[in-house]
Each structure stands twice: as C-alpha cells, then as structure tokens.
Structure 1
C-alpha cells in the first residue's frame, strides 16, 4: 500500500517557512514520481515556479481537462495528447496569480465520461488506500494527488459527481461549486448545463480559501442558530452497502449530538426526474460543446471533428457514450423536453430546502456514494449487497440529480470500512448558496472529526 501523507495548506506553509518554496515544490515533484504506480499524473513539470500571494510556494495539481498555458490539455484521450491551448482556465489563472505552482496535470476517466478513472488511453488511476480499487472519477488523479500528499489542493471537474465521488473514495474533501461560479470555458467539455471546475483538498478551510481566490466571494458566516439539515431518506439512504449505511447513521448521530436539527425530507421525484433528463442533456450538449471547444484551439486539433475524437477513444464505456451522442440519441425536441424536466428537478430541490410551511434548511446531507470504492476493472457492473449492479448509475445515484440541477455540493470524509476504504458524506444546497454552504460544511466537518 502506498504511504499516505496528506497535508493541508497550513502545514505546507510551515514547511515553506522552515525550508523554502523551491524545496517544497521539488519535494512535491519527487513525491509525484514516487507514486507512479498509482497512475495519478499524465504530465509532470520539469520544474515549477511560484509567484507571490496567499498561495506563494504552494504546489497545485490540475486535472487534464482544464486548460493550462504551459502543459498540454489532453482530456485523457489520445486525439488531444499533443493539444496545447496556450491559455489558462479561469481557476488556474487566478490560483497562479495567487502564487501557486502547477506541478502537473492529473489523470482522469477518459474525456471525463465515467466515474472509475480506469483510463484505457493513459492507464488506470488506482486508489492509494488499496491499489486494487478505483479512486473514483472522473477526477481520480487529482484526488490521489491530494490523498498522497503530492499537493495540498488539486483542481478537478464535476458533471455528475466527478469531484465528490473520488473525494469520498480517497478520503479527502471535494467541492463542486454552482455551475458558472468558476467559469464556463477553457475546459474539455461534456455539458454546459452540468459541468463545473472545483477543488479537492484536505479541509473545508482550504476549499473555502481556494473558492474565494477563484471567485472573490468569501465563505459565509455560520448560522447564528443551530444547523437545520435535511435528511432525504427516500432514494439517498436506500440500498446502501452495510458499512456505508452504518457510517452514515453514525455521522447523523454525531451531527445531532453537536446540536444540528435533522429534518427528514423528500426531494420529490429527484431520481426519476434526473433519469428522464440527465443523460439526454449530456448527449445533446457534448455533441455541440466538444466541437465548439476544439474550434478554439490554436493547433491542428482545431480541425478535429467529434467523429475524429470518437475514432481514437480507447475506453469502451466512453466509446459507447460518445457513439450515443454522435448517433443523435437526443433530438432537439428531446433536449427541450429534458430542460423542462430539469426545471421541475430544480423546483423539487427548492421545495425540499425552502419549504413553504417550515423554516428553511441549510443543506441536505446524505452518503456521497452508496458503496465503497469498487475494484479496478469493474467498469460495467460491481457487487452491492450480494448482486451485480451497474457501477456508473449506482455510484452517481446520490450525486447525479443535484449535478443535473446545477447545485453546489461538498463531500467530506466520514469514516472508513473495516478494511480502510474511505466513506464520504455530502452536503448540498441551492444554486448560488455556495458561501453559506461552505460555512455549514465547516461546522459539519468539526462535528464529524474523530
């Protein structure tokens, strides 16, 4: 098993004060090379330079579907392996301006169209807690980089759970902001409605700092009253792995002991509505959004078509999704209907979190993923409660609906299985309530801390 040495921003700053920023960055690169067997990185810097500011000397890893001016942006797929956009994603640029040093681009599920990070083009990413297991995806490499202490913070993206699933499986914090809060372009895209960049870190405080540096919006103040958290039993707490279920109940008990008011709620029809609109939105939008991104590239990749990228996709599950999109599985009329269904999904979340006949809730709380990290290679099905279940749909069961609705959410470490596999608990709020959600998350993190 790989040695786990996660370190938050404060600890890294202490090292910088004792040694130097240059030594810390050099150590980060050496650590990245030491964990090569985990497949966390697609590219590493020969050397990384830091600037000045609140992140001066802090090593940063970036998922390889976010544009960076000094690295290729491959999207984890062969057709883009030499693509050099020569520009920074909004979050990358603002963290550079704050002094961060980018040490490398992280491996991911090919084109971010999956949740295992078993990438047939660049090799699988492996869970540092058990390398025979998936780290989750699609931001698997970024989660591994934080969990192993290569970097204190790493950027990723989330379309249906791609920040929170690897956070849960690797035992770190994963933050998905409201769609649009962290910018909407300079990313190898899946869905303009659902995609967002975000961050993985070891603490909520580090997440909040990064979010403030990217957006200029500081985390809110904690509520002056006791927290009110909605517990959506139906759909979110059903058919869980026994150890996930037990961990979730322990977490609720700790929150109640810490003074939180737990209110059982129903997000009416959330999973059914998501099933009706989530994938149609993705299949329709990627067919438009990916070619639009390619057309902005400065190199020969700007001539690529959707079909050209599809032709070189190596991962069977990603190929199947791309073929569905290319085949027009969702028509323009189907897309219009899907977006109307999405409006009903948002309304269901609003009704649960802002009920007309009761005080508002601060957030929903639920297990991030219904089961611990599956074995590497379980790309189609995996075992849950004695039967084979679809690995993708089961993994994103809880994270998917809110992603389709564009909501902010955060996954926090909540415990482990008997064999040491991490388990996560998520909080989710309405679009635009990011600052308040981060304040709530800090309180929940304190209550769950062993």
Structure 2
C-alpha cells in the first residue's frame, strides 16, 4: 500500500482512484470484475484515496450484489456489509465488485454464469476460489486491497494460487449479515493484500482492535502437523514448503512436530452437514431482507437458475431435506471435538503453547481451468475440490483464524502458499506472528 500512498502524494487521491477504476475495466480478459463503479469518490481517513475491490457476495450500498449467480443478477441491496462500511469510513474508495465461484460454493472461480477468473501467472489456470476475482485484482496491482469471504478456504486458496496474502479472521470478528451466505458457523469476510502489514491495518480498521504490537524478541514456536497436512503434496509444493521451513528454522523459529488428532476425519464427518443444513436456512433468510423483487425468491428459485454444475449439486444437497435439525446438531457436536483437537495441538499439556500451526495452504499448484471435477496430482486423478481444501477445510469448520502468505513458486512460475493458523480469538497475536514469519521468509 506504500506505493499507492506515494502515488496519492505525487498526484491526488481522485486521480489514483480513477486510474484503478480504468485498470479494473481494462482487466476484463482476466474476468476479475463483475461491475465497476462509474466515479467512485475517495473519502478521508487512514485509507484516504486507497482503491478497494469487494467480492460480489458482500453487500454494497452503490453496486449490485449478484453472488455470481443469475437469480441475483439485478439485486441491489442498497446497504454496506460491516467491513465495507468500516473501510469506506476510513477513506477507501470501492471501485468495483469482483467475480467469484458461483454463490461462493467452489474453489476454482470457473463461473459458468459470468465467466471464469483467470490466473494472472498463467491464464490457462484457475485463480482459485471462491474469492478469485479479489485475489487477481490485488495480484495484478489494480487495487492494493480486496475484500473476500472464506467458508472452507475461499480467501486462502486464491491467495496461494495468485501469490498474495489472504486473511481469514475468526468467525464473527468481521461482522455478520449483509452477505450472500453459505454457513453462519463457517462464513467470514476477510481481506487479500500484498503484505501482512496491510492486512493487519485493515483488520484493525474493521474491528477497532489495535494492530499487532511490534515483534518481540521471544522465538516463535510453530507447530508442524505432518500427518494429514503434509501428505501427498505436489513435489514442487513440498519443495517450496520445506525451503520455507528451513528459512524459518535458520531465523530462529522453533518448529515443533505436532498432531491435530483426527482433524480430517472429524471435518469429513461434520463439515458438509453443517454447510448444507445452514445453507438451506441462511440463503432464504438473506433473500427475505432484500429490498427488490429478489425478496420473493426461494431456494428453489435460485437453484433453478444456477449455471455451474458443481454449485447445482451443492444446492440440491442443501434442498434435499436430508440435513435435518438432528443431523445439524450432531454435526455441531462433532465440531466441538474438532475444536478440542486443535486446542490440544496448540496448547499441549505440559509444554509451552505454540504461536500457530504452519502448513502448505494447498497441496498442489493452481489447476488448469476446466478441471472442475478432478485434476492430476502425482500421476493420478484426484477430486479437485476436496484436494484443494484438504488443509484449509478443518480449521474453517472449527472457526479458526488463518492466513496464507507466499512461500515461493514452481519452476513454471506458479505461486505456492504457506498457511498459519491459530485458535479462535487469537487474531491479533496471529497477525503479529505472521509479520515475523513474513520477515523470516525475506518478503
């Protein structure tokens, strides 16, 4: 964001915002934006004149909120989601709404209704999702900051694939409501940026909680959950991750082998039941708050117009009646076991607590666009969705804060991400840890 501030100082906030707006329109070939503001006005405050992009499932007072789905193509909620409002109040100018995986129910951003988001490092590949457009807007320099959402990895996956920083705060920390929802238990807004410092500033502005204190001299202690999180990695992802761990160790970080007991099995047991049970309730509840004709839509109406086959399957599951109140209650009980497993790993009995877990964000680099069902990993076809969210999913279900930052690239120049994850409510401390990790990695 320093470069943006230098441009503002040398020209004017209005000129910088206008240039970003033009750049958003010019980037149409990447599919990053669904709408661009006509003449956004910069405000006053710590973000005065800073251009901001907003994922098109977060409500904005002045632009449509389509959720990337045909049924909401004309929806204008006429209100700002909490984080949007806070950043506007700090002077940011919303220049446009970004493309996403339809209804945020996927991780490729290959949106059959509005077109795919293309990876700026290789346009034949996915930008990741569901916040793909926001990640591309930051990675290409159109904006220094972009808001997104994360239910199972939707900020961190595109951050990893596009080579930027993606921040998922603790669920509820960035407000609730005024968002096209998936799951009240798992959804959160968050931000993509080019540095942890910018993420920390935005988090402080959105929450009113002080930014992290300057790094202390105490060595960091990071947990390395080899079992499950380091299995069956793409060779170049594995190599980038190990190099990053070596850099951290050389910088004095203590790396501790840990186990998050049954994390993936517990997530498989409860993650999707929570999503499908809550989606069936939360999406109609959101629709009922809209001021326009979309207020009368039902879940079936939205489903009837869904264009992406994978999203249609998810909505059909939610609408099936299979995920009853009893199923939902059992899933939430299983989630408590998952949360306890993370707590035991990060706060081990008889040992010093860990500052965070560290693991590769995604087991493989960005897959080719069109690999919507399966993709190749280590010589075989694997499910693209489940493989991509293998590492980000369990903590998302547990409601934990997490951050992905760049850890290097493959020989072909595709970015690889490294994630840090902490216990719910530990956001400020995690951001301080992330700044130290970023420095140790030489960024």
TM-score category (smaller protein): over 0.9
Whole-angstrom CA distance in 2 between matches of 1:47 and 1:149: 19
Q: How does 1:166-205 map to 2 (within 5 A)?
A: 166-205=158-197
348, 372, 386: which one pairs with 2:365?
A: 372
1:107 aligns with 2:99: yes
208, 211, 221: which one pairs with 2:203?
A: 211
**Which residue does 2:81 correspond to in 1?**
89
**Which residue does 2:304 correspond to in 1?**
311
Whole-angstrom CA distance in 2 between matches of 1:119 and 1:383: 21
| TM-score (norm. length: structure 1) | 0.98
**Which residue does 1:162 correspond to in 2?**
154
Contact 2:338 2:398 in 1 (8 A): yes
C-alpha RMSD over aligned residues = 0.7
5, 13, 25: which one pairs with 1:21?
A: 13
1:347 aligns with 2:340: yes
4+ aligned runs moved over 6 Å, structure 1: none
1:123 aligns with 2:137: no
**Which residue does 2:390 correspond to in 1?**
397
Whole-angstrom CA distance in 2 between matches of 1:209 and 1:323: 40
- SS at 2:124's partner residue? coil
- In the TM superposition, residue 331 of structure 1 has moved relative to its aligned partner by 1.8
**Which residue does 1:435 correspond to in 2?**
428
- SS at 1:366's partner residue? strand
Whole-angstrom CA distance in 2 between matches of 1:24 and 1:443: 31
| TM-score (norm. length: structure 2) | 0.99
- In the TM superposition, residue 329 of structure 1 has moved relative to its aligned partner by 2.7
Whole-angstrom CA distance in 2 between matches of 1:241 and 1:247: 10
**Which residue does 1:3 correspond to in 2?**
none
**Which residue does 2:407 correspond to in 1?**
414
**Which residue does 1:62 correspond to in 2?**
54
**Which residue does 1:291 correspond to in 2?**
284
- SS at 1:133's partner residue? strand
Whole-angstrom CA distance in 1 between matches of 2:121 and 2:393: 25
Q: Say if 1:157 and 1:98 are closer, same or farther in 2 by CA, change over 3 A.
A: same
1:73 aligns with 2:68: no
- SS at 1:413's partner residue? strand
Whole-angstrom CA distance in 2 between matches of 1:19 and 1:123: 35
**Which residue does 2:349 correspond to in 1?**
356
236, 242, 246: which one pairs with 2:235?
A: 242
334, 337, 341: which one pairs with 2:330?
A: 337
- In the TM superposition, residue 281 of structure 1 has moved relative to its aligned partner by 0.2
Whole-angstrom CA distance in 2 between matches of 1:139 and 1:47: 24
**Which residue does 2:3 correspond to in 1?**
11
Larger displacement relative to structure 2 (195-204 or 224-233) = 224-233
